[in-house]
């Protein structure tokens, strides 16, 4: 209890600022729009509808399983979170430069609050995914209990990337253009719109499926799809790779990216106010 009180006293101001910034960012995100918060649900649904018509109906990107449609919706929402959290987190420090010069508080709160705003949208989308799962032949088992751990991993991955990009963006504005291209490449390297079986079943590129699977963004999306919707149909790093050290690589990579983002951010954050 004493440790808890000390923690609350030491971080009370930071927690208050964090909470208020999360509220402000989330409100400003939909300020002036007619539908408001509903866009956090409608946007991924509309993107899913486009992908489903183009890639599933016309291009036949499907693994033939009854849960593929809801898995596509799930992957779309998860990727939207990662893309939004990293892109908005990258610009958070620059956009809040006036706040940094006026009020003294830990700079990392600005990036964390921005990514948490994206997490709120993701949690709303997860409710929609579960709703559609009842109509999309999803299999809800005890593995659903593992989903929160994967959600935390996805958030930590997005936060680590956002901290790293946010630091670089203060000094080099070209980072936004580079990340836009890198994000697009990473999107196609992650099996969101196509099943991983399309790569694994190709005898010439079967090796590439394992490389794609050790990508942290792929690993966490596939883990969530399997544990939340389709434990019998979705492949993961645990089912495709037998080496236990390689299986643990994407988890270790997530922690390394988070550590690197924190390290770089803490090293250069004292100079942010001067640069901005």
Count of domains observed in the chain? 1
Residues of the chain with pLDDT under 50: none
Give pLDDT, residue 197.
83
Does residue 8 fall inside a structural domain? Answer: no
Give pLDDT, residue 3.
59
Give pLDDT, residue 226.
92
CA distance 106 to 93: 12
Write out the residue range of the structural domain in which residue 264 sits.
17-275
The per-residue pLDDT for range 27-49, each reduced to its tens digit, is 777 666 666 667 777 777 888 88
Does residue 1 fall inside a structural domain? Answer: no
Does residue 46 fall inside a structural domain? Answer: yes
Does residue 159 fall inside a structural domain? Answer: yes
CA distance 166 to 175: 9
Within a 10 A sphere around the Cβ of 104, how many other Cβ atoms? Answer: 9
Does residue 226 fall inside a structural domain? Answer: yes
């Amino acid at each position: 209890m004493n440790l808890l009180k000390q923690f609350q006293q030491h971080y009370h101001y930071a927690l208050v600022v964090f909470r208020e910034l999360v509220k402000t960012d989330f409100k400003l995100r939909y300020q002036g729009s007619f539908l408001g918060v509903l866009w956090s649900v409608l946007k991924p649904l509309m993107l899913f509808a486009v992908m489903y018509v183009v890639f599933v109906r016309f291009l036949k990107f499907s693994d033939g399983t009854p849960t593929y449609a809801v898995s596509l919706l799930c992957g779309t929402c998860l990727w939207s979170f990662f893309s939004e959290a990293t892109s908005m987190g990258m610009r958070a420090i620059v956009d809040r430069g006036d706040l940094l010069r006026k009020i003294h508080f830990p700079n990392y709160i600005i990036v964390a609050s921005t990514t948490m705003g994206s997490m709120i949208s993701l949690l709303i989308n997860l409710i929609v995914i579960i709703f559609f799962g009842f109509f999309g032949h999803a299999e809800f088992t005890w593995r659903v209990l593992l989903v929160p751990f994967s959600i935390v991993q996805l958030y930590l991955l997005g936060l680590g990337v956002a901290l790293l990009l946010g630091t670089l963006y203060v000094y080099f504005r070209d980072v936004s253009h580079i990340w836009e291209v890198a994000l697009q490449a990473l999107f196609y390297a992650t099996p969101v719109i196509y099943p991983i079986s399309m790569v694994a079943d190709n005898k010439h590129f079967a090796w590439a499926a394992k490389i794609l699977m050790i990508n942290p963004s792929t690993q966490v999306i596939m883990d969530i799809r399997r544990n939340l919707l389709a434990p019998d149909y979705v492949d993961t790093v645990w089912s495709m790779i037998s080496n236990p050290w390689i299986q643990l690589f994407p988890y270790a990579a997530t922690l390394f990216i988070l550590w690197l983002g924190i390290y770089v951010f803490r090293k250069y954050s004292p100079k942010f106010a001067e640069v901005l």
